Structure 1
């Protein structure tokens, strides 16, 4: 029986240039997949963690600017998937820098951040160009790099029919950005 979870650590265990090229060679967009995976891998570090963590960090002002770009990106994604309510929320909230512990506390609440993630995730998954076991296994491997669905969607962009842009998320993540969308604020923090 096929179990996609067997592929969770694939890219961590087989991350050399040759191995990555071979893994992605089974997909028509192999060059794009390879280039995006290399960008993520080279922007991360493991340092005793099971998953990649951002290698870089930046100032509060830069994280706020990158967070603002990601918020605009999410607003655009909501427009494309037809989530008018969350699109309005994205449009009206203010970007606010928060301490990591405050962000963690807010993320435990039932906030628009979680609804947005679910809506984007459902839309992205429905738009996969293939329902094959290989595509499922690849997305499990992509998720396994950093335990981050947004990064897996950024890398696997060419495997979706839905025209959305996760580049702002990648730029935000690579500089250590974390976020939470509430009814009134888009909280950003860095690792």
Structure 2
């Protein structure tokens, strides 16, 4: 029986350029997959962690700026998937730098952050270019890099018919960005 979880650590164990080219070579968008995977892998580190963590950090002001760009990106994604309610929340939300424990506390609540994630995930799953086991396995391997679906979707964007840009999320993540969208604020912090 096929179990996609067997591929969770594939890209961490086989992340050399040659190995990545071979892994992605089975997919029609292999060059795009390879280029984005290399960007993510080179922006992170596994030192002392099971999953890739951002290698860089930045100032509070810069993380707020990058968070603002990611919030605008989420607003655009909401427009593409037809989520008018969360699109409006994104449009009105104020970007606020938050202490890490305040951000973690917010993430424990039932907030728009989670609703948006679910909506994006459902829309992307429905727009996969293929229902093949290979695409499932690759998406699991992409998730397994950093235990982060948004990064997996950034790298694997060409595996979906839905055209959305996760580039702003990647830029936010690579500088250590973390976030939580509440009903009124977009809380940002960095690691």
Query: Structure 2 length as normaliser, TM-score?
Result: 0.99
Task: Tell me the equivalent position of 2:126.
Answer: 126
> How far did 1:175 drift?
0.3
1:16 corresponds in structure 2 to 16
Partner of 1:108: 108
* 2:85 alignment counterpart: 85
Aligned pairs (5 A) from 1:91-102: 91-102=91-102
2:66 and 2:157 map into 1 onto residues whose CA distance is 20
- Give the CA deviation at 1:47: 1.0
Distance 2:48 2:126 in 1: 35
How far, CA to CA, are the matches of 2:86 and 2:98 in structure 1?
A: 21
Task: Output the CA distance in 2 between the equivalents of 1:37 and 1:83.
Answer: 29
Shift in Å at residue 128 of structure 1? Answer: 0.6
CA distance in 1, matches of 2:124, 2:178: 21
Aligned residues: 191
Report the Cα offset of residue 189 of structure 1.
0.2
Structure 1 SS opposite 2:113: helix
Structure 1 equivalent of residue 164 of structure 2: 164
Partners of 1:101 and 1:46 in 2: CA distance: 23
Instruction: Give TM-score, length-normalised by structure 1.
Output: 0.99
Map 1:11-50 → 2, pairs under 5 A = 11-50=11-50
CA–CA distance in 2 between the matches of 1:117 and 1:176? 19
Structure 2: segments with no counterpart, 5+ residues: none
In the TM superposition, residue 12 of structure 1 has moved relative to its aligned partner by 0.4
Post-superposition offset of 1:125: 1.0
- Work out the CA distance in 1 between the residues paired with 2:114 and 2:42: 28
> Could you list the runs of 4 or more consecutive aligned residues of structure 1 that deviate by over 6 angstroms after TM superposition?
none
